[in-house]
Amino acid sequence: MGDMNMRDALAQYCSRVSILKKGYGQEKYRIEQLCRSFLGDKITRNVTSVDIATYRDARLAEINPRTKKTLSTSTVRLEMSLLSNFFDIGRIEWGICEANPVANVRKPKPPPGRDRRLTAREDRLILRYAHQHVNPDLYSILVLALETAMRQGEILKLQWEHVNIKGRIAHLPETKNGTKRDVPLSLKARDALVRMGVKSNGRVFGYTGEGLKSTWRFMLLKLGISNLHFHDLRHEAVSRLFELGTLDVMEVAAISGHKSLAMLKRYTHLKAQRLVRKLEGNKHKGKQAVIDCLIPYPACIDESQEQIRVRLLDFDGIEGLGPCRASAIRDAQGLLLRRILMDMKDAVTLPEPDQYLDIVEENRLVKIDPLSVEWA
């Protein structure tokens, strides 16, 4: 191959090596980026560790046009890993370079794992939006993601011939880590598939990856939800599996398909609220049950010339009224306390805070604490 420049060598790598990988589309995009950079014109055997470090620093300073922020360190780390593999193959198999210049260059520090969890309100907002969406696929896809911890690609590639509705098993013959997997389906997951109209073969869902990405972004914009990735639903699902309290680590790993238990730990962020009860055990159990119910709830303040109305968003029919904000909040506080105690007496399950579906401006929101003396 002689003195081949990086652009031609990377094109060769793309057509002979990258094309055999599951993440070919993403790797092809990274190669195109590398070819556009100053590295593209350099002779492969002349590229030095200084060139790689210069490329790394330039990329870290670059602004992502979509997010308006500097590129993530994960993006640059992936590009450097690709370059490292490229130089190893170029040195060992193609003879176009004598060394791997990436080997001596520091990679950017990896970012901390995401710990984004869905709030109860976001869960209800997303599922309600999806249920009313013109494409019925969206609702079933989201339910499957939250119930099974399957990856987006695994859901979109699901075939009817691999779904056993009666046995409640979805077979994945090909996954990201290269192994097949059988995923148990909860009743909600099974019903989400049944509503699609069960067929004997063919793809379950019609969405492409890009199509779902576009729909997801529009939905979050419409609902006013920020900093939520589709992949966060997998994090959420894995955490919920652990919070059931009936599955051990190996069983969760069998469902989610994680090979590394360290990686599984990264994905799992148990809600501290669920752990409090375990810490207490049976000590002060009755007292703790009462305290757990007497918590603040969100309310919306509607002001008019005649009176102020404070509406509890998680309850139907609880509205505090008064000539001023303080008196209206006091009225709502008393009604909330009475409602909580009556529901406890009648063994009615109280709603979790922030499950309301109304779209409310931030400046009209207030927290009503049934035990607060601030408005007394």
Catalytic residues: 151, 176, 231, 234, 258, 267
Where are the alpha helices (H) located in 229-320, listed in sequence order?
232-243, 249-256, 261-267, 272-280, 285-293
Closest CA to 4 of 42, 33, 39, 36: 42
- The dihedral sign for the CA sequence 170, 173, 177, 182: positive
**Alpha-carbon distance 252 to 233, whole Å?**
15
Q: Order the strands of the 169-172 sheet from edge to edge.
A: 163-164, 169-172, 181-184
Name residue, tokens 């051990």: 248
Residue 336 makes CB contacts below 8 A (sequence gap 6+) with: 297, 312, 315, 318, 368, 370
Q: Based on the number of CB atoms within 10 Å of its own CB, is 144 exposed (0-12), middle (13-18) or buried (19 or more)?
A: buried
Write out the two tokens for 163: 């779904």
Residue 369 · residue 313 · CB < 8 Å: no
**How far is 129 from 138, CA to CA, in rounded Å?**
9
- Residue 2 makes CB contacts below 8 A (sequence gap 6+) with 96
